[in-house]
A and B are shown apart, each in its own frame.
Chain A
Amino acid sequence: MIKGVKLYLQGAFWLFVYFLVTLAPLFVLLLGPIPEARGFWREFSVALGFAGLAMMGWQFALTARFRRVKAPFGSDLVYFFHKQISFVAFFIILAHPIILFIISPETLQLLNLTTAPWRARAGVTAFVALFALIAISVWRKKFKISYDRWRVWHGLLAVAAVTLAMTHILGVGHYVGTPWKRALWIGYGIAWIGLLFYLRIIKPWLELRRPYRVDQVRPERSNTWTIALHPDGHKGIKFSPGQFAWLTIWDSTFSDKEHPFSISSSAERSEQLEFTIKELGDFTARIKQVQPGQSVYLDGPHGAFSIDRQPTAPGYVFIAGGVGITPIMSMLRTLADRGNRRPLHLVYANRDWENVIFRDEIQEIQTRLDLRVTHVLQYPPEDWEGASGFVTLELLKQSLPEKLGEYQYYICGPEPMMNAVEINLSKLGVPLTNFHSERFNLV
C-alpha cells in the first residue's frame, strides 16, 4: 500500500479509537437500569462531567509517546492536540458545576470545603488542580517556572485532578451503581494507572537498560555544540532523517528531566548518533560541560518530519533558520550517504555569516549531492553578494525551482519565519500537503 494512504488510514483509525473511548461514558450511561430522572439540566450537567473526566484521563495516552499512535500525525501535532483538547475538557468540566449552581443555588454551599461532604471536596479540589494545571502551562514563562519544574508539576497536578475526579464520581455514586457503568470506570481507572505505570516506571527502566556513551562534544558556530554518542552494549536505534529523541543527560531516567533534540547525523550511520544543540536555556547552556565517556539516555526516535515519509518525491526543498538546520542536516547527510542525486534546494537564513552552523560542511556536501544552496543573511558583511534580509516571497521566487508544486518542502526555524514561509509558499501555489514542519514551542 502507498505509504501516504497507509498513514491516513492509521490516522483515521486512531482518531476513531480516541473518539470512542472519550465518548463511551455517554453511551454507557444509558445501559442497564437507569436511576430516577432528576430533570434535564441536572442530567446534562452530569453527562458533561463524565465526558470531561474521560477526556482528562485519556490525556495520559496522548502524552505516552506511543510511536505507532503518533506516526500518522507527528509528535508536535499530538502535543498540540493534547493542549487544545485540555481547553475543551476544561470548559466542559467547568460547565458541570456551573449548571448545577444555576439550577440549584443551594449547591453553592458545596464550595465550602470545611462543611461540604467528601465527594464534593474531591470534586472541587479536582477542578482546582485542573485549573492550576492549565494555568502553569499557559503562563509558564510569565510565572518564571523552569521547564523541568513545570514538567514535574504538570504530571502531579494531572494525576491529582483525575484521581480526585474519580473519587468524586464514585462518592456521588448515582450513575456508577450498575455493573456496566462500574466496569467502564474501573476499566478506565486501570488503563490510566497502567499508562502512568508504563510512563513513569517501565519506560524509564527500559531506557536505563539501553545507555549511550558520549564519544565527543565538539563546538560548532553560533554557541552550538554537537554531542556524538554510541550505543553502549546494545544495537541502538534505527531512525529516519529529521526525527528527534528525548535526551536525559545528568539525571536518572526516572527523574523525568529529559529534553527533545533533533538528530543531526546520517540515518545511514546509526551506530553513532549526533545531536547539535544551541545554547538557548538553562539546560542547553550546560551541553558543553558533557564529558566524553559519560552515560546518557535516549527515548526515540520520534517525529514525522522526514524525507522518508515522502520517498517518491522528485525533489526536496529545505528551508532552515539558524539552529533549525539540525534535522535538515540529518536529511542532507543521509541523502549524501545514500548516493541520492535528486534535485535539492536549501534556503538557509541566519543572522550573519559567522553564525552559519555547518557552513563548511554544507559547502562540502554539495559535491556529493545535486544541491543548490541559498544563504540569506540578516546582517551580511560588506562584500556579501548573496541574499540578505528575510526569507521573503521574492526571495523564494528567485531561489526555488520552476516546478514548485512537484517538490516536497521541509521547514524548520523560528516560529515567525516558519509562519511567513508557509504563507509565501501558499501564495506561490505550493499545495499545503507538500509542506512539512514540526513545532515544539508549546509551553
Chain B
Amino acid sequence: MRRRYSTLVAIALGILIVILSVIFALLENLIGQ
C-alpha cells in the first residue's frame, strides 16, 4: 500500500514536469520572440 502511494507521487511528479515544461515552452515562445 505504501508503495502504491510512492508510485503515485513519482508519476505525479513526472506529469507535473511534463505540464510545466509545456507551459515553459509556450511562454518562452511568446516572451522570447
Residue contact A84 to B10, C-beta cutoff 8 Å: yes
Interface residues of A in 75-113 (CB under 8 A from B): 77, 80-81, 84-85, 87-88, 91-92
Residue from B18, B27, B33 in contact with A48 in the complex, judged by beta carbons closer than 8 Å:
B18
Q: Is A61 an interface residue (CB 8 A)?
A: no
Contacts of A73 in B (CB 8 A): 2
Binary flags per residue of B17-33, CB closer than 8 Å to A gives 1, else 0: 11011101111110111
Q: How large is the interface on B (under 10, 10 to 19, 20 to 34, 35 or more residues)?
A: 20 to 34
Contacts of B27 in A (CB 8 A): 30
Residue contact A23 to B7, C-beta cutoff 8 Å: no
Q: Which chain B residue lies CB-closest to A436?
A: B2
Residue contact B6 to A84, C-beta cutoff 8 Å: yes
Q: Which chain B residue lies CB-closest to A88?
A: B14
User: Number of contacting residues on A, CB 8 A?
Assistant: 37
Interface majority SS on B: helix, strand, loop or mixed? helix
Q: Which chain A residue lies CB-closest to B7?
A: A84
Residue contact B32 to A35, C-beta cutoff 8 Å: yes
Assuming the contacts A77-B3, A84-B7, A85-B10, asked whether A43 and B17 have C-beta atoms less than 8 A apart, the reply is no
Contacts of B20 in A (CB 8 A): 23, 26-27, 47, 51
Residue contact A23 to B2, C-beta cutoff 8 Å: no
Residue from B1, B2, B29 in contact with A40 in the complex, judged by beta carbons closer than 8 Å:
B29
Contacts of B7 in A (CB 8 A): 84
Question: Can you report 22 residue pairs joining A to B where beta carbons are below 8 Å apart?
Answer: A19-B16, A23-B16, A23-B20, A26-B17, A26-B24, A29-B28, A30-B31, A35-B32, A37-B33, A39-B29, A40-B29, A43-B25, A43-B28, A47-B25, A77-B2, A77-B6, A84-B6, A84-B7, A88-B13, A91-B14, A92-B14, A422-B1
Interface residues of B (CB under 8 A from A): 1-3, 6-7, 9-11, 13-14, 16-18, 20-22, 24-29, 31-33
Interface residues of A (CB under 8 A from B): 15, 19, 22-23, 26-27, 29-30, 34-37, 39-41, 43-44, 47-48, 51-52, 55, 73-74, 77, 80-81, 84-85, 87-88, 91-92, 422, 432, 435, 439
